[in-house]
Amino acid sequence: MLQFASTKIVTKAKPIETLAESAFLHLPLSAYHGHFAHPVVQAGDMVLKYQLIAKAGDPFSANVHAPVSGRVVGVQKFPDCGGGMTSMLVLQNDFAGACIDFPAIPSDDPPADTILDLLSAAGVIGAGGAQFPTALKYRAAGQHIQAFIINGTECEPYLTADYVLMRERTASLFEGIRLVNTFLQAKEVVIVIEDHNHELLTVFAPYLAQARYAGIRMQVVMEEYPQGSERQIVFAVTGREMAPPLHPSREGFVVSNAGTVVAAYHALAERLPVVNRIVTVSGDGLQQAGNYEVPIGTPVGYLLNQLGITPEHYTIVLGGPMMGRHVTDWASPVTKGSGGILVLPRDPVKRENCIGCSRCVEACPMRLMPLKYDEGWRRSNLAMLKNYQLPVCIECGACEYVCPSNVPLVASIKAGKLLLRKEG
Ligand code: SF4
Ligand code: SF4
């Protein structure tokens, strides 16, 4: 059983802080698997904070809004942390903070049949990392939803962004749940947290006692990586296994990250688009470790420099250490799905050959054979990758974490999936 609560102690105790804004923001036009938004502004245009600057090109992409006021520099390619290059809209901050005019918002709840449109308009996507458009997820779930599960487990080591969000923005979290459920009409609504965060029970108690939030209940689960993945959390709540071809959404379970629900609150109650996110900056012994709310598009290098960290001296990971991606270009931005930036020592990892110990097989929550993916990828053996069900892998990294030979399993898995996609 993989447990990482000890890595979170320092930043759990820290509040959400802000930093001086960057002069330039790099706003990704693609969120989910290469589906792009199309710019509706041109180089040289002046834009206001919250203004729509790129419109979703299809249901799998998401609207992009200006997190600050300023001048559009244009569209440029930047490294996407996945080893490729991706188009981003570059915005020069004028530091005026001028916002668009919002129309008066009715005090009533938005009608249920407008909820999905409001979420789409605000560019709300999964904040847990996958960045799947939230409106599409809720629409696909259909009408007979057994449970709406709010995922507050945040099982990756070091990350506490969701924890501090739930602790400090509790009212927004509960209102977001209530408003989303006016559309979902789930029979059961459950907020799931891990046992090492049990103090949240006290924080949530005044809300759970209100008639306004009747029907919402808490469930505390034992800490275990990767508890936060959709299938694992449905199993933890319901005891139902969701091994493929079963999928939670098709079985009546909707799982949303706590950060997604707070973003939904801002979209539904305030008509505010997603322009900021909270990231945990952490690493062993890192003095500047904390939780920072920054504009989307803030370059990682700028953020770290603000904290007095020279990124060149470290290994930098965007996301958690298990599922995050190494940052090799400091212009890479914080995205709507970035929960953390890890600052780790630059120890070269000695990679050795597989010794066939099968620890990776025992650690795999999806009951896969990870060692076969390294072999399959190295031999370009597509049949092997398919036969051992590579597409089912959730890229949780548990196999590589336990591997005594440091076989680069996750890199092989990602490369293998790319190979399969190319082959169609
Ligand atoms: S844990 Fe590592 S060494 Fe052991 S079987 Fe898996 S890949 Fe091979
Ligand atoms: S990364 Fe994939 S193969 Fe490895 S443990 Fe996670 S689900 Fe299993």
Domain at 112-269, CATH homologous superfamily: NADH-ubiquinone oxidoreductase 51kDa subunit (3.40.50.11540)
How are the residues of the chain apportioned to helix, strand and coil, as percentages rounded to the nearest 5?
A: 35, 25, 45
Residue 355 zone, left/alpha/beta (φ > 0; ψ -120 to 50; rest):
alpha
- For a pocket test of ligand 1, which of 2, 350, 358 has the largest count of ligand atoms closer than 8 A to its C-beta? 358
**CA dist., res. 143 & res. 183, Å (int):** 9
Q: Which of 281, 292, 348, 294 is nearest to 320 (CA)?
A: 281
371 lines ligand 2 (CB under 6 A): no
The answer to whether the Cα torsion of 337, 340, 345, 349 is positive or negative is negative
What is the Å distance from ligand 1's center to 364 Cα? 12
Alpha carbon separation from 34 to 54, 57, 152, 188, 213 (Å, rounded):
15, 11, 27, 34, 38
Give the Å distance between the CA of 369 and the centre of ligand 1: 10
- Ligand 2 centroid to 294 CA: how many Å? 31
- Structure tokens, 242: 């969701």
pLDDT band at 325 (very low <50, low <70, confident <90, very high): confident
Token pair recorded at residue 383: 């049949």
Centre of ligand 2 to C-alpha 424, Å, is: 22
Nearest to 126 by CA among 117, 135, 134, 118: 134
Q: What is the pLDDT of residues 351-370, one digit of tens each?
A: 888 999 999 999 999 999 99
Ligand 2 atom nearest to 360, measured from its CA: 5
pTM summary value: 0.91
- The model's pLDDT over 23-65, given as tens digits with 9 standing for 90+, comes to 999 999 988 777 999 999 999 999 999 999 999 999 999 999 9
Closest CA to ligand 1's atom 2: 403
Question: What is the arithmetic mean of pLDDT over 373-392?
Answer: 94
Residue-wise pLDDT for 265-290, tens only, equals 999 999 999 999 999 999 988 999 99
Distance from C-alpha of 298 to C-alpha of 312, rounded to nearest angstrom: 18
Atom 7 of ligand 1, nearest CA residue: 371
Q: Domain extents for the chain?
A: 112-269, 359-423
Complete DSSP assignment for 134-172: HHHHHHHT-S--SEEEEE----STT--HHHHHHHHSHHH
Of 61-70, 225-234, 412-421, which gets the smallest average pLDDT? 225-234
Whether 155 shows a pLDDT value over 90: the answer reads no
- Amino acid at residue number 161: A
Q: Which residues line ligand 1 (CB under 6 A)?
A: 354-360, 370-371, 403-405, 407, 409
Per-residue pLDDT tens over the stretch 75-122:
999 876 556 788 999 999 999 999 999 888 888 999 999 999 999 999
Please tell me the distance from the alpha carbon of residue 88 to that of residue 79, in angstroms, as a whole number: 10
Give the atom of ligand 1 at the shortest distance from the alpha carbon of 371: 7
Nearest protein CA to atom 4 of ligand 1, as residue: 357
